[in-house]
Structures are given as structure tokens and as C-alpha cells.
């Protein structure tokens, strides 16, 4: 007899979602989380996209600690002096809410407490050391020399899955599969947030930025999201860039983003409430480990289920969805009391038929585009040239758009053929 | 002989993360993490060591809001035998006087008490009142600033760290001891013990259980009135480097900006 039916390692969105589903179905579940309370160590810019909580917590939009629903989506290219944006605002989002800004300190705690309310045993402030094995099957977890047993374990450790790696269940992370995300929460009044971003009521802004003015070929994306009375602002930097440039470098990039002439007025006067950094798995489907085996499943960031294109990061939604699917697979396996890898392979099938793996397969290799020179260096500068030539009246005869574009292309020092190739690659992958 | 030991603990905002709201002047507790007061962890460890040596039981008593649950579970996971959270909205806003009275009232409901442990002070208010207050309310002997504790034949032998040395005292039980911050290294919580603690659970005692008049507790029972609070402005500081042979220049400069004054030698 095991101590628990199931043990879930990590109470992030993936782990708590799995525990909610398992406990609701009546299984005995142990949910172990290193942070106390859950979420106090989480770092996330914080837009929860999609509706994956629908199936777990009825009416979650009313009870969950969501800050604002997003009706204002913006993608911007920044050069040293300019900002070129594509803004999309729509009243349609009021009816059909597609994303909410969230603060992880609150959201993670909410989800973990839901799991507890459903009957899971929630233990916080404890780090699982390793997995317990019996004849190559995972039969529980080990902590401080004690073994706690279960029929199966869900590993939902997040982006730095130490237990999975040390148990040989996944490869160590390679630099090229990782980015580093840095985030600050900047406190402002609710009225100031509304005024600066032209928002009313509960609506919110989510902006992503290509930082086209960094020196030395560094590629970084910025994000800026509105919470009720604060902003989440941060940058995502390719790990390879960072290694080459030393560790204090990430801070400089954050500074450069926040000091940009068109970003600074948005955050000015705010008080920094939190400052944190975290890994972001960027490798996509190619860096994904085997997702199941005898007695275990891997969900969320631990399984590299993150979609990132250098500007936008989605991971919470995949974490929630994969956590719930891992739970469903365990519940199915429990009917036959068979927790072998073969029985748990239904997890892979579920994922393949869901948005999670469909997205990740479709956007395989997106990182090559999003971290490309085109997006992060050439495009912002070119667009600035083009728009500046179009709008600057110098009394000279006007030029055709085509002339302007070709002119700025040669200034950008990019061959026409190269541009066409890059653009083609980009379109194909997006 | 088995000792019945009580430990007084409090949950406090993590002092490394505390933020004062510049408008209301109150602690902004919304984003701060709550933790067990560090000196109380030392008090608990001292109690557990004494129990492990002599035998007996350790009961943790805390007055606080429902979220002090995590502190209750933590104390059980470290090895306490029983945990009681004294919690009621009537207790809110208490200063150190009704806090001591309420905790003393809870302890007096226990069948037998030989030794009470408390932390020297709490990191969020730093008064050091509550432990000694409880001793007074219970009419019990007390020793403060204790760093180590032994027991023999009805007597506690305690070492007190004082400014000019260490004092060793011997007192008959029952006695209340306040334990110095960092007097010992608290034992770790483990997953196994924490699961057991979660399953065991803790008791919640409300005002009715204590049977105290409502006007004795919480805000109404508090004689302290805070008239005004103000933040302390950080002074602007300058850093400048002087070589040894430039000391006369330094003195002159300090004199010129008014930082040094000349006084007649007596
Ligand atoms: C700067 C930044 C911005 C982001 N912005 C967004 C965004 O806007 N939208 C979005 O959808 N996603 C975003 N993401 C990604 C998102 O944060 C992750 O995809 C998501 O948190 C993954 O959830 P998870 O449950 O798999 O892992 P996590 O949220 O990392 O949770 C894992 C949990 O496991 C715990 N844990 C780890 N090891 C152990 C152990 N051995 N024992 C016990 N507990 C353990 C950890 O403490 C943690 O709480 C962002 C990420 C970063 C870094």
C-alpha cells in the first residue's frame, strides 16, 4: 500500500492543476512545493492566455485573482529614438475574454489552495530531493532520507527541472534552449495605470517589444503588462547572449528598456515592488524530453512546454492544460491499476490532440526566426527609416514607397536576397 | 519526570520583504510573505531539546489570524506535539498588553505547565513585552535573554547572555524563559514530518473558548494609542577618498561645511 495514490512535485500552474483534477476525482494526492507560500518565488510577466482553467475550476474568472482582461494588444519595434507599433484593440474581447493579467504570488496560491480544498495534502516549504525507484519504476519521492511512496509521480518542477535531470528522465538544459527572463513589478495607482494606457474599467494592455537598439548583436525582447494598480515589466534575453557578456549584463538590458524614451513615461514615478529573474525554456518541441515512463509523467515547463517568440511568452496555459491531461491519464491508468509507461502513454496521445503539442509542432524552429537579426536588428531600423522618410517633410520632391524601402534596405546593410529569404522563413514559421 | 512545556510563537511579515505604505504608514502586508518569528524558532528548538532530554510534551500556542496556519504546521513539523492557534476577530489590533493577557489565558486552560518558552522579541514590533507579560499574568518566575537551558530535579538551570558576561541561574519550575535570537540551530522540517503534521492538524481556540470579556482583548483592551507615525528620511551621503597626507584638507572641508565645530579646550 502506497502512502498516497499520486505525488505531484511543484505547485506551479502545472502541478496545482494536476492536483486539482486528481483530488476532485477522489484520489489521495500529495502536492509538494518548495516555496512557502506557493508562488512566492515565481517569476512571470503574467498574462494567462486562453481558457484552460474552465475545465478545472468552474467560474474561475469570478473567484481567481485576475487583475485585468486584455483588450489592448500591442507589438512594438523600438530603435534608439523611435517606436513603431501595431496596436490591436477590440470591444470583442469584452465579450470573449482571451487573456488576463495575473500576479503569480496570488495566482499560484489560489490554485494550490483549490487543490487543498479538493482534498489534496498540500505541503509547502519543502524541496523534493530525488525520486524513489523500485526495479526501474518510479515509486515515490525522497526527501531528507525519507521515502514517501505513491503509484505514480507527476514532475511539474518548472523551467529548471533538477529532479528530472538528476534522475536521468530528461537531458540537462542547453544554453541554446534557454532564455533568461527578468521582471519587475512597478506599483502605480489604478487611476495612473488607466490614464497612461488609455484603459477603462477592468480592461488591460499587453505589449511586447523588439529591442532593436542593443549593441553587440544582443537580441532581447521586452514586455509590459498592466495589472490593476501595477505594471509587470521585463525583458527576455537569449542565454547564449548572456553567457558571452557576463552576468550583470541582463540588468543593463532591463535598464535600457526601461529608459527608452517611449517606455520611461509609462513607468515613471512607480515604485519597484519585486525584482526577479527566471529561466524560460525556449527550445520548443526539439528540446522536449520523453513525457512519460514507468510510474511518472512530466508536465509544464519541466517538459519545455513553453511557446516563446522572443517577445511573447506563453507557458502558464500549456502548464495548466498539460497538468490536467497528466491527471486524466493517471486516473485512466488507475482504473486498471497499471502505471507502466505503456499505460501512461495515453498522456502523449492527449497532448498530441490538444493545442499544447499542436502549437509546439507547428511553431517548431520559431526561435530561429524570433531571435533572428531580421526581427531584432534589421526590421526596427528599416521601419524607422521608411516611416521617417515618409513623414519627414524636407521640402524635397516626394519619393515612391518602393524607392524608400530599397534605400533603407541598403542602409540596413542587408542583401535583398537575404531579406527575401529571412522574410520567407519568418512567414513560413509564424 | 515528564515536563509539560509551552512555546509561545508568532507569525510575522518576513522582515527582508517588509514595505511601509508611504500613504497610510502601515505595513503593506499584501505582497509580503509571512514567516515564523526567528527568535520563536529558537525558543521552539530549546523546548524540543529539553523535551527530548527529559521527556514530556511540547505545546505551541500562538495568537494570530487564520493564515498563521502555516506557522502551526511548521512547528508541528519541527517536532511539537500539539499546536493551538488562539484566533478570533475580537483579538485583532491588540497591543502587547491584551496579547499577553490572551496568551496567558489560553495557557492557563492547559492542564499543567512546567516551563514556558518565548522568543526574546518579535521582529515586527520588537517590544519584548509579551513573554514577560505572560509570566506576570500567570504569576510565574521568569528569566529573559536565555541562551541555554538544562533541567534537574524540579529546577531549570539557565544561562543568560548579559552585556558584561554570562549569568547562570537556577530557578524552580514553573518558569517562563525568553530565548535569544540565534541561541541554537532550529531542526529542519522534513516532508515526512510535515505530512504527519498536516494530517494531525492544530486546534483553534476563540474568545468563547477562553471565556474572556470582549472588552479585555484586541483593540478595546489596548491601552496604547499611536498618535503619529513618520518615515525616517534617508540622509544623503557622499563618498570621497582622501590620502593620509590630505587629512588637513579633509578637516578643513568638514569644518567649512559645518560638520566639524571648534570648541574651546577645557
Ligand atoms: C519573465 C517571464 C515572463 C513570463 N510571462 C508569461 C506570460 O505572460 N504568460 C504565460 O503564459 N507564461 C509566461 N511565462 C512562462 C510561465 O511562467 C511558465 O511557463 C509557467 O510558470 C510554467 O508553469 P509550471 O507549473 O510548469 O512551472 P512553474 O511555474 O515554474 O512551477 C514549478 C514549481 O515547482 C516548484 N519546485 C521546483 N522544484 C521543486 C522540488 N524539487 N520540490 C518541490 N517543489 C519544487 C517551484 O518552486 C515552482 O513553484 C513567463 C516566464 C518568465 C520567466
- Cβ contact (<8 Å) for B33 and A36? yes
Within a domain: residue B228? no
Q: Which of A211, A217, A225, A314 is nearest to A255 (CA)?
A: A211
Distance CA A389, CA A405 (A): 10
Choose the closest CB to B195 out of A30, A36, A274: A30
Fold classification of A176-281 (topology level): D-Amino Acid Oxidase; Chain A, domain 2 (3.30.9)
Chain A positions touching B194 (Cβ under 8 A) are 123, 125-126
For ligand 1, atom 35, which residue shows the shortest CA distance?
A: A10
- Cβ contact (<8 Å) for A144 and B188? yes
pLDDT at B24: 56
Is residue A225 within 8 Å of residue A90, measured between CB atoms? no
SS3 state at B159: strand
Within a domain: residue B225? no
Instruction: Report which of residues B230 and B104 the model is more confident about.
Output: B104
Distance CA B58, CA B81 (A): 5
Q: Where in chain A is the domain with CATH 3.50.50.60?
A: 4-65+103-171+289-364
| pLDDT greater than 60 at residue B121 | yes
Strand spans (E) along A145-245:
146-155, 178-187, 203-211, 220-226, 230-238
pLDDT at A71: 94
For ligand 1, atom 19, which residue shows the shortest CA distance?
A: A315
Domain that holds residue B120: 3-216
Distance CA A174, CA A161 (A): 13
* Mutate: best of B18, B21, B190, B195, partner A, most A CBs <10 A: B195
Question: What is the tally of structural domains in chain B?
Answer: 1
Is residue B51 within 8 Å of residue B57, measured between CB atoms? yes
Q: How close A313 gets to chain B, by Cα (Å)? A: 24
Choose the closest CB to A126 out of B33, B191, B199: B191
SS3 state at A426: helix
Q: What is the residue whose three cell numbers read 569644518?
A: B255
CATH class of A4-65+103-171+289-364: alpha beta
pTM of the model: 0.87
Cell of residue B109, nine digits:
486552560
Q: Which of residues 59-88 of B touch A (CB under 8 A)?
A: 70, 74
Cell of residue A297, nine digits:
509523467
pLDDT at B117: 97
pLDDT at B18: 58
- Cβ contact (<8 Å) for A123 and B191? yes
For ligand 1, atom 45, which residue shows the shortest CA distance?
A: A10
Residue B72's CATH number? 3.40.50.620
pLDDT at A98: 87
Distance CA B79, CA A148 (A): 19
pLDDT at A110: 95
State whether the beta carbon of A161 lies less than 6 angstroms from ligand 1: no
- Cβ contact (<8 Å) for A144 and B74? no
- SS3 string, A230-298, reads EEEEEEEEEHHHHHHHCCCHHHHHHHHHHCCCCCHHHHCCCEEEEEEEEEEECCHHHHCCCCEECCEEE
Q: How close A10 gets to chain B, by Cα (Å)? A: 13
Q: Which residues contact A329 (CB under 8 A, 6 or more apart)?
A: A292, A297, A344, A346, A347, A350
Is residue A5 within 8 Å of residue A148, measured between CB atoms? no
Distance CA A265, CA A254 (A): 15
For B61, the enclosing helix (H) or strand (E) is: strand B56-63
pLDDT at B187: 94
State which ligand 1 atom lies nearest to the alpha carbon of A163. 41
Within a domain: residue B31? yes
Q: What is the residue whose three cell numbers read 509547502?
A: A124
Strand spans (E) along B173-262:
175-179, 203-205
Q: Across chain B, what does the average pLDDT equal?
A: 89
Q: Where in chain A is the domain with CATH 3.30.9.90?
A: 176-281
Within a domain: residue B253? no
Percentage of chain A lying above the pLDDT 70 cut: 92
Chain B positions touching A121 (Cβ under 8 A) are 195, 198-199
- Cβ contact (<8 Å) for B191 and A141? yes
Q: How close A242 gets to chain B, by Cα (Å)? A: 28
pLDDT at A20: 98
State whether the beta carbon of A10 lies less than 6 angstroms from ligand 1: yes
Q: B61: burial class by Cβ within 10 Å (0-12, 13-18, 19+)? A: buried
Q: Which of A215-224, B34-43, B231-240 has the lowest mean pLDDT?
A: B231-240
Distance of CA B20 to the CA centre of its chain: 20
Within a domain: residue B155? yes
Low-confidence ranges of chain A (pLDDT < 70): 43-45, 245-248, 309-311, 365-371, 411-416, 422, 424-430
Which residues of A lie inside 8 Å of B (Cβ-Cβ)? Answer: 3, 30, 32, 36-37, 40, 105, 121-126, 128, 141, 143-144, 146, 148, 273-274
Q: Which residue of A has its CA nearest to B194?
A: A123
Amino acid at each position: 500500500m502506497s502512502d498516497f495514490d499520486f505525488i505531484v512535485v511543484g505547485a506551479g500552474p502545472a502541478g496545482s492543476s494536476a492536483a486539482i483534477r486528481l483530488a476532485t476525482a477522489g484520489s489521495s494526492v500529495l502536492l509538494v512545493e518548495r516555496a512557502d507560500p506557493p508562488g512566492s518565488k515565481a517569476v512571470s510577466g503574467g498574462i494567462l492566455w486562453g481558457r484552460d482553467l474552465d475545465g478545472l475550476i468552474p467560474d474561475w474568472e469570478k473567484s481567481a485573482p485576475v487583475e485585468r482582461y486584455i483588450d489592448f494588444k500591442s507589438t512594438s519595434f523600438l530603435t534608439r529614438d523611435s517606436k513603431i507599433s501595431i496596436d490591436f484593440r477590440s470591444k470583442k474581447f469584452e465579450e470573449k475574454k482571451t487573456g488576463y493579467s495575473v500576479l503569480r504570488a496570488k495566482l499560484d496560491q489560489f490554485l494550490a489552495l483549490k487543490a487543498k480544498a479538493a482534498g489534496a495534502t498540500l505541503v509547502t516549504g519543502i524541496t523534493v530531493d530525488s525520486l524513489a525507484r523500485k526495479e526501474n519504476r518510479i515509486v515515490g519521492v525522497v526527501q531528507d532520507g525519507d521515502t514517501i511512496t505513491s503509484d505514480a509521480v507527476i514532475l511539474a518542477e518548472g523551467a529548471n527541472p533538477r529532479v528530472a535531470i538528476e534522475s536521468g528522465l530528461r537531458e540537462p538544459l542547453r544554453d541554446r534552449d534557454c532564455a533568461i527572463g527578468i521582471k519587475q513589478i512597478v506599483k502605480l495607482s489604478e487611476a495612473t495605470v488607466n490614464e497612461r494606457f488609455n484603459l477603462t474599467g477592468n480592461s488591460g494592455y499587453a505589449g511586447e517589444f523588439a529591442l532593436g537598439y542593443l549593441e553587440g548583436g544582443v537580441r532581447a525582447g521586452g514586455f509590459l503588462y498592466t495589472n490593476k494598480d501595477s505594471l509587470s515589466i521585463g525583458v527576455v534575453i537569449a542565454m547564449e547572449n548572456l553567457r558571452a557578456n557576463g552576468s550583470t549584463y541582463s540588468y543593463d538590458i532591463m535598464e535600457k528598456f526601461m529608459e527608452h524614451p517611449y517606455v520611461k513615461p509609462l513607468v515613471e514615478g512607480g515604485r519597484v515592488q519585486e525584482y526577479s529573474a527566471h529561466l524560460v525554456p525556449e527550445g520548443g518541441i526539439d528540446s522536449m524530453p520523453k513525457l512519460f515512463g514507468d510510474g511518472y509523467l512530466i508536465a509544464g515547463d519541466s517538459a519545455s512546454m513553453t511557446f516563446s517568440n522572443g517577445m511573447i511568452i506563453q507557458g502558464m496555459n500549456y502548464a495548466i492544460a498539460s497538468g490536467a491531461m497528466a491527471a486524466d491519464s493517471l486516473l485512466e491508468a488507475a482504473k486498471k491499476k497499471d502505471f507502466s509507461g505503456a499505460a501512461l502513454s495515453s498522456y502523449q496521445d492527449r497532448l498530441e490532440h490538444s493545442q499544447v503539442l499542436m502549437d509546439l509542432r507547428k511553431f517548431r524552429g520559431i526561435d530561429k526566426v524570433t531571435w533572428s537579426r531580421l526581427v531584432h536588428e534589421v526590421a526596427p531600423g528599416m521601419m524607422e527609416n521608411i516611416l521617417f522618410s515618409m513623414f519627414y517633410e524636407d521640402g524635397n520632391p516626394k519619393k515612391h514607397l518602393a524607392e524608400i524601402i530599397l534605400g533603407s534596405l541598403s542602409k540596413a546593410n542587408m542583401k535583398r536576397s537575404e531579406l527575401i529569404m529571412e522574410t520567407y522563413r519568418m512567414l513560413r514559421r509564424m | 519526570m515528564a515536563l509539560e512545556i509551552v512555546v509561545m510563537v508568532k507569525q510575522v511579515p518576513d522582515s527582508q520583504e517588509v514595505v511601509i505604505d508611504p500613504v497610510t504608514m502601515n505595513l503593506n502586508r499584501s505582497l509580503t510573505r509571512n514567516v515564523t518569528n526567528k527568535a520563536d524558532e529558537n525558543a521552539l528548538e530549546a523546548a524540543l531539546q529539553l523535551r527530548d532530554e527529559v521527556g514530556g510534551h511540547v505545546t505551541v500556542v500562538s495568537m494570530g489570524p487564520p493564515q498563521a496556519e502555516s506557522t502551526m504546521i511548521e512547528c508541528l513539523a519541527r517536532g511539537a506535539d500539539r499546536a493551538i492557534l488562539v484566533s478570533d476577530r475580537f483579538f485583532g489590533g491588540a497591543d502587547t498588553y491584551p496579547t499577553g493577557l490572551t496568551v496567558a489565558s489560553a495557557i492557563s486552560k492547559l492542564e499543567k505547565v512546567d516551563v514556558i518558552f518565548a522568543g526574546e522579541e518579535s521582529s515586527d514590533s520588537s517590544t519584548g513585552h509579551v513573554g514577560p507579560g505572560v509570566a506576570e499574568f500567570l504569576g510565574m518566575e521568569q528569566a529573559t535573554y536565555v541562551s541555554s537551558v538544562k533541567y534537574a530535579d524540579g529546577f531549570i538551570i539557565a544561562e543568560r547572555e548579559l552585556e558584561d558576561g554570562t549569568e547562570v541561574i537556577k530557578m524552580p519550575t514553573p518558569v517562563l524563559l525568553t530565548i535569544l535570537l540565534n541561541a541554537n540551530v532550529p531542526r529542519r522540517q522534513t516532508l515526512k514530518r510535515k505530512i504527519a503534521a498536516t494530517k494531525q492538524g492544530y486546534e483553534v481556540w476563540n474568545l468563547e473558548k477562553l471565556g474572556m470579556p470582549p472588552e479585555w482583548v484586541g483593540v478595546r483592551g489596548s491601552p496604547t494609542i499611536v498618535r503619529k507615525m513618520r518615515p525616517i528620511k534617508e540622509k544623503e551621503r557622499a563618498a570621497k577618498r582622501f590620502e593620509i597626507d590630505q587629512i588637513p584638507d579633509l578637516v578643513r572641508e568638514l569644518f567649512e561645511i559645518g560638520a566639524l565645530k571648534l570648541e574651546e579646550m577645557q
